[in-house]
Amino acid sequence: MNFLEERILKDGIVKEGNVLKVDSFLNHQMDVRLFDQIGEEFKRRFADEKINKILTIEASGIGIACIVARHFDVPVIFAKKSKSINIEGDVYVAEVESFTHKCKNQVIVSKKFLNPEDKVLIIDDFLANGCALQGLISIVKSAGAEVSGIGIAIEKGFQPGGQVIRNLGFHLESLAIVDSMDYTTGEIKFRENA
Ligand code: 5GP
């Protein structure tokens, strides 16, 4: 079992509706030392990829992405959620459905910050149905840039996102893959060798 799986077992809480609560260390209160370990591990796993930018989505991806970026020594861009219908022409736009909040958001990235030469590592805290990732991938493609890799802290392996993204041929690394979780007992099972 790796360091993140151990921490999930210690402090994660299984909620009704297939939600894993990790707000005591990952996406509300943040354990920056743990983020540093996450950064080190992604640096190891993506050692062979060319990466000059990190892209994430607000809000909960930002903290992890910033610490990961220290290990790659590259800037972080976060896609901003925007409710406005009239988006000006100087941004890339994608539509993302939120798993936790059950609503649709447009996410935007300024054209100033993504260029065709960019080799992008996408980072996020969770992968569930894959909507957030699909949105980020489409923004990178709109810029004519390349997705060099995708690093996820926690993948919920019983939801389809991971398989869809791997089938598309992306280099996806998830540090913990939850294969099942039981709300009544609180039991969490991980995929081996995540
Ligand atoms: P997806 O777009 O892959 O369905 O969901 C990814 C996004 O939903 C993540 O950025 C994360 O914020 C949120 N999310 C999905 N599942 C969970 C969960 O079980 N727990 C928490 N805390 N967030 C989740």
27 among the known binding-site residues? yes
* Residues with Cβ within 8 Å of residue 70, at least 6 apart in sequence: 36, 39
Q: What is the ipTM of this complex?
A: 0.96
Q: Is 121 in the pocket of ligand 1 (CB under 6 A)?
A: no
Q: What's residue 161's pLDDT?
A: 97
* Residues with Cβ within 8 Å of residue 101, at least 6 apart in sequence: none
**Class of the CATH-defined domain 3-180:** alpha beta
Chain segment 34-71, per-residue pLDDT in tens: 999 999 999 999 999 999 999 999 999 999 999 999 99
Atom of ligand 1 nearest to the CA of 27: 22
Q: Is 27 in the pocket of ligand 1 (CB under 6 A)?
A: yes
- pTM value? 0.96
Q: Is 125 in the pocket of ligand 1 (CB under 6 A)?
A: yes
115 among the known binding-site residues? no
Atom of ligand 1 nearest to the CA of 131: 2
Sites in the chain below the pLDDT cut of 50: none
Q: Say how far apart CA 74 and CA 46 lie, in whole Å.
A: 14
